[in-house]
Amino acid sequence: MSKKLITVMMTALIVIVVGGSVYHYKYGKTYYYGVVGKMDHSEDQGKGLPTSYYYKIKGYNKNGEKKLLTVGSFAGHKFVEGRFIKVGWSRAKKVNEYEQVSANQIPKEAWAKLKSEVPRDR
């Protein structure tokens, strides 16, 4: 192979590796687990769109690391207080997905931190 071809291939490889690393850093999701508490605030979207409801959730990832998240509901749905929630978070998009989960779906390290926040009547 010629030196020019090798140079082009190495440059392309470096661009792919660096680009992939930056993409993963900014858009790679970390999942946090929390308990839905009281609604923090709501926002009327106007023009016939449904109201958005926002909740502050203390979430813990699979390593037990804590993050305070503001999670907004979609399509005007309110969350049910005391339910467990799994929240997808990335640096670029912040909270970008959520779903209700059961206690047995929460990783052990997150559960160890979260169980003290579970309402007593559960």
Average pLDDT value for residue range 66-95 = 90
Mean pLDDT rounded to a whole number for the chain:
89
Q: How confident is the model at residue 106 (pLDDT cuts 50, 70, 90)?
A: very high
Find the mean pLDDT for residues 52-77.
92
Average pLDDT for 101-116:
92
Q: What are residue 20's phi and psi, to 5 degrees?
A: -65, -40
pTM of the model: 0.79
**104 Cβ neighbours under 8 A, 6+ residues apart:** none
User: Residue 31 — pLDDT band, cuts 50, 70, 90?
Assistant: very high
pLDDT band of residue 84 (cuts 50, 70, 90) is very high
pLDDT for position 122: 52
> Residue 89, Cα to own-chain centre: how many angstroms?
2
Please report, for the chain, the start and end positions of each structural domain, with discontinuous segments joined by +: 29-117
Q: How many CB atoms sit inside 10 A of residue 52's CB?
A: 16
Q: How far is CA 38 from CA 60, 80, 99, 119, in A?
A: 18, 9, 17, 12
CA distance 122 to 118: 7
Domain 29-117 bears CATH identifier 2.40.50.480 = yes
pLDDT band at 88 (very low <50, low <70, confident <90, very high): very high
Per-residue pLDDT tens digits for 47-62: 888 999 999 999 999 9
**Is the C-alpha dihedral spanning 115, 70, 32, 96 positive or negative?**
positive
